A and B are shown apart, each in its own frame.
Chain A
Amino acid sequence: DAKTTQPPSMDCAEGRAANLPCNHSTISGNEYVYWYRQIHSQGPQYIIHGLKNNETNEMASLIITEDRKSSTLILPHATLRDTAVYYCIVRAYIYGQNFVFGPGTRLSVLP
């Protein structure tokens, strides 16, 4: 079973920040939070991951709460090309732990 809970869908206006929440209240100390997205008819694409500190890269920012029970993926200036399903995954770096994809959040960026 997926260890995360995400809203099934969200809308965002083009040019605005998209804030996608994820709840992972049972996360363990050695588990990282990963975000992937899947644009229609393509394979999932890695976005960002982190352990406890906030992370930023050219695609997005990841904000993890201090208790690590939830996180938010931020797309600072959403474009129409950001319309996709976004998956939040928790996973430890140990042998046998695989990426478990839940249903994700379907983000629609509206013009």
Chain B
Amino acid sequence: DVKVTQSSRYLVKRTGEKVFLECVQDMDHENMFWYRQDPGLGLRLIYFSYDVKMKEKGDIPEGYSVSREKKERFSLILESASTNQTSMYLCASSPSRGASNEKLFFGSGTQLSVL
């Protein structure tokens, strides 16, 4: 089975801290995604990547950046954490771009609290 692993299940940070959320997938998937999930707002796409060193903005990229130096790893960076970034962060991967077998596999999520 595909495994998408997020480094932390729960994380507590202070306002202004730089925060790194790490995600690793073990199935050689080309595509990786970062979503955040908030009550009443559903899942919203922050950034995605279709290849190593490539990144594209999703619907809500402000306040975030990403890094994909290796195919299996996709990092989400909060340069200066703010309280409105308190959320559940979900990483996902999918095998290929524009193919009929493209479906998302999600990690278990990181619940980030910014105090």
Contacts and interface: CB of A to CB of B under 8 A. Distances in A.
Nearest to B44: A101
B96 to A, nearest CB: 10
Given A36-B104, A44-B104, A102 B109 contact: no
Interface stretch (A19-27, A64-72, A76-84, A92-100): A92-100
Contacts, number: 48
What class of interface size applies to chain B in its complex with A? 20 to 34
Contacts of A36: 104
A100 B44 CA distance: 7
Contact of B103 (A34, A94, A102): A34
Given A95-B97, A98-B58, A103-B42, A44 B106 contact: yes
Contact of A102 (B42, B56, B58, B105): B42
A95 B98 contact: yes
Interface string B76-115: 0000000000000010100001111011111111000000
Contacts of B50: 95
Nearest to A96: B56
B43 interface: yes
A104 B42 CA distance: 8
Interface of A: 2, 34, 36, 41-46, 49, 93-96, 98-104
